[in-house]
A and B are shown apart, each in its own frame.
Chain A
């Protein structure tokens, strides 16, 4: 079943066209990665999917319904959880408050505490620090909180913008292990990532975005078998 379908999406900032006709679709249970250099339009595409930037033209469909005009909060309530490049952690709130805040996207009768508990299973390091201010967290912990918080909303689609940005390799190992676990549990994930090697290992489908245009679509398995890719991105001959 197609969860998300983006068609001919255009995003502009004044005279600058950041996204020029991007089309992609995400099937339930898939992990789709978009790779590309800085300024390629990746983050703008993610923000347009969450409704955080206005699209100039094109459409975003969610489970077959056109949601292009929906507010961000309505999209969140419909099952799209977004983790921005900046993590979007509220530094003045406690870790627990950050987590419970995502309960806003749940139905009124939902058990937020239960959802928080489930999220903490993936990121147990946060469990003993719920009353601490989020401002004290390291970069890696912030990312764990941001993703954990997104999980509290019981998402059908987790949208991650550059999850590896600014993180040390050892932290990245933990983070991508957690993402792989979520994938194995059947969670649908759409991520943009500059770390091609990590993205390829995690994703079922790969899109390459350059200059605001989807340039090519590769299957990760083929890339992993490609000697020049292995040499360039994975350091394997």
Chain B
């Protein structure tokens, strides 16, 4: 049981990194950014591009590339539709997602590629009788630091407070002098940083990458946000950990004959939770933004 909890904590941390990147943009812009998955995918390929460099340098470059893509996305695709309806924003993100996938397909081909990033973290260590992978330690630790850092940034810095204000009422924040371009670009930057780090851990876990590898993570991110509750950033992280717990527990305890239906049962579990908590586990009725 304790072993499964550790596994759930590791998977939940990865989900939380993805979910927070999506939730941040949704809270400020009302944007459901399907192209967030492509940021993760770009991060994966960037990992491949820079894999000959020392890991620390590679990691910094990957995150920088993904942040750059995120900022370019905002400037070239989303700025001109800012304030448009949710449907317009969603369609824009779909189009962007397909465009980026197409571009990577063109340059990198459709064949899956493999990489052994963080291969030295493949071993496990024994902690209190539990076998914990070094990679799991890294994911849990880095995510904890990032969550704490994000919380600090949003509470203690002027830009963070501006982002929280914009998330609650963007129009009023602008009327007070909050620069819309700065706040939105910062949100894309932070979202990109989270996507870049998630990409490193995702590729380190799976060892492979394809141009469509971003789809499943971004769907998981959305599910985590809805499950946690629209309206609060930390709820997205909570949703991610609950989703991971459901997944790991079903994986561990489902009888062999039912195992192929694991994903269906996870989502059935989510439907049941939403029946009793229609606004998500920690969501507020009527609240959509942070």
| Interface, chain A (partner B; CB < 8 A) | 50, 52, 71-73, 76-77, 82, 84, 88, 90-93, 97, 100-106, 149, 153
Expressed in whole angstroms, the Cα–Cα distance for A84 and B164 within the complex equals 19
Q: CB of B264 within 8 A of chain A? A: no
- Inside 8 A of A82's CB, which chain B residues have their CB? 175
Q: Is the CB of A93 within 8 A of B168?
A: yes
- Inside 8 A of A153's CB, which chain B residues have their CB? 176-177
Q: Kindly state the interface size class of chain B when it binds its partner.
A: 10 to 19
Q: What would 26 A/B residue contacts be, using CB atoms closer than 8 Å? A: A52-B174, A71-B180, A72-B171, A73-B174, A73-B175, A73-B176, A73-B177, A73-B178, A73-B180, A76-B176, A76-B177, A77-B177, A82-B175, A90-B165, A90-B172, A90-B173, A92-B164, A93-B161, A97-B165, A101-B162, A101-B176, A101-B178, A102-B176, A104-B162, A104-B179, A105-B177
Q: Is the CB of B177 within 8 A of A52?
A: no
Judged by DSSP, the binding face of B is helix
Smallest CB gap from A76: residue in B: B177
Residue from A84, A93, A97, A104 within 8 A of B177 (CB atoms): A104
- Inside 8 A of A97's CB, which chain B residues have their CB? 161, 164-165
What string of 1s and 0s marks CB contacts (under 8 Å) between B155-194 and chain A?
0001001101100110111111111100000000000000
Shortest distance from the beta carbon of A87 to any chain B beta carbon, whole Å: 9
Q: Is the CB of A101 within 8 A of B175?
A: no
Expressed in whole angstroms, the Cα–Cα distance for A72 and B179 within the complex equals 9
- Inside 8 A of B175's CB, which chain A residues have their CB? 50, 52, 72-73, 76, 82, 84, 88
- Inside 8 A of B165's CB, which chain A residues have their CB? 90, 93, 97, 101
Q: CB of B65 within 8 A of chain A? A: no
Q: CB of B290 within 8 A of chain A? A: yes
- Inside 8 A of B162's CB, which chain A residues have their CB? 101, 104
Smallest CB gap from B161: residue in A: A97
Q: Is the CB of B161 within 8 A of A91?
A: no
Q: Is the CB of B161 within 8 A of A73?
A: no
- Inside 8 A of B178's CB, which chain A residues have their CB? 73, 101, 104
- Inside 8 A of A90's CB, which chain B residues have their CB? 164-165, 168-169, 172-173
- Inside 8 A of A91's CB, which chain B residues have their CB? 168
Q: Is the CB of B171 within 8 A of A52?
A: yes
| Among all A-B residue pairs, the 6 with the closest Cβ atoms | A105-B177, A76-B177, A88-B172, A104-B177, A72-B174, A72-B175
